[in-house]
Amino acid sequence: MLVVVLVAAVAGGALFLRNLGVLGSSAPGEKVSFVIPKGYSAQDIGRLLESKGVIASALGWRLTTTLEGGAENIQAGRYEIRRGLVPRDALGRLLARGPDVGFTTVTFKEGWWLEDFGGALEDATDISGERFVRLARGGHISSSLLPPGEQSLEGLLFPSTYQVTKGTTARTLVRRLVTEAEERVSGLDLTEVKAKGVSPYQTVIVASMIEAEAKAPGDRAKIAAVIYNRLARGMPLGIDATVAYAVGDRSGGLTESELAVDSPYNTRKVTGLPPTPIGAPGMASLEAAAAPAGGGWLYYVVGDCAGHHSFSETYDEFLSDKADYQALAC
């Protein structure tokens, strides 16, 4: 009886491992293409291979890679591989040849202008930054967020880290970043700002100013409140970041002549929103623009050496906050 039980257990275990693909041999089928993103773990890869039919079981992959090792050396990229492989053969294929198409990682930062996007792209890839900016500015590619008559995609390329494959064109990448921004904005609850008469595009404009002004995360929704409160009262926004955009200089320390520049972006002189975003807002600034804090603030000024702002409802309070900051030895 004991022998029978042992034989049955061994046979059952072997059948189980065969079903998982740990034992047995491959029966290669048709080819399938897939992408292993950067940062995927061995378990992530196993689930991906199972979903594509390359292997029968992600559990079998996990057992195989635990016993044999090497999965940590699998590179990110696009692969073309046959279905119907046992995990050992799939692992060997992924390690032996590497990806058919690799990735270059490019990071576009929050607050960047289109020229910054182009510069980072050209530094990291063989894509022309000049062509990228020309496509994004000249009306060659549209966005569902753009109002009639506006062509520039300033502020409508979502800033994040992207994996760019060899052969990607400037046009393809602009469209990809536009689509990402459209999806992020469409996911916002815009009920509150729509009630203020603010369009999705104008929400992005507000978010771009928040991105340029906020240094502390907790200030974003309050800065949004100041912007909307001033708009409601017909007050100039007085945001120097819009002036910096108008003169094309973010080095700081705007001169008196620059602050007096005749431009629709000079929110010291012109009431209302600037005509376009002044940079690429990140998700936190978009969320703040969609859901401003509840408060009657009309002014803000840097309040401490860490960059937090002090918010006030009256001009006298603003002057007091400003004097307090100027007294600090930052």
Question: In this model, does residue 226 exceed pLDDT 90?
Answer: yes
Is 12 in contact with 32 (CB distance < 8 Å)?
no
Whole-number Cα distances in Å, 312 to 78, 270, 316, 330: 54, 22, 9, 22
Strand, coil or helix: 74: coil
Instruction: Give percent above pLDDT 90 in the chain.
Output: 71
What is the pLDDT at residue 7? Answer: 38
| 57-63 mean pLDDT | 94
Q: Report the distance separating Cα 191 and Cα 97, nearest Å.
A: 52
| CA 70 – CA 74 distance, rounded (Å) | 7
H or E element at residue 163: strand 161-165
Q: What is the pLDDT of residues 281-327, one digit of tens each?
A: 999 999 999 999 999 999 999 989 888 999 999 999 999 999 998 88
Which residue ranges does the chain devote to CATH 3.30.1490.480?
19-100
**Percentage with pLDDT > 70 across the chain:** 93
Degrees, nearest 5: CA angle 309-313-316: 90
* Global pTM value: 0.75
Query: What is the per-residue pLDDT for 15?
Result: 47
In CATH, what number does 19-100 get? 3.30.1490.480
Reply yes or no on whether the pLDDT at 126 is more than 90. Answer: no
Q: State the first-to-last Cα distance of the chain, in angstroms, to the nearest integer.
A: 85
From the list 304, 305, 299, the residue with the least C-alpha distance to 319 is 299
Judge residue 223's burial from the number of C-beta atoms within 10 Å of its C-beta, 0-12 exposed, 13-18 middle, 19 or more buried.
buried
- pLDDT given for residue 3 in this prediction: 41
Task: Compute the distance between CA of residue 269 and CA of residue 259 in angstroms, rounded to an integer.
Answer: 9
DSSP assignment of 247-304 equals: HT--SS---HHHHT---TT-TTTS-S--SS-SS---HHHHHHHHS--S----EEEE-S
For residue 19, the model assigns a pLDDT of 52
Q: How far apart are CA 323 and CA 325, in angstroms?
A: 5
CA distances from 95 to 24, 38, 135 (A): 20, 15, 38
Identify the pLDDT of residue 265. Answer: 97
User: Has residue 260 got a pLDDT over 50?
Assistant: yes
Q: Tens digit of pLDDT for each residue in 127-155?
A: 999 999 999 999 889 999 999 999 999 99
d(CA 119, CA 186): 28
Q: What's the confidence (pLDDT) of residue 37?
A: 85
pLDDT reading at 14 higher than 50: no
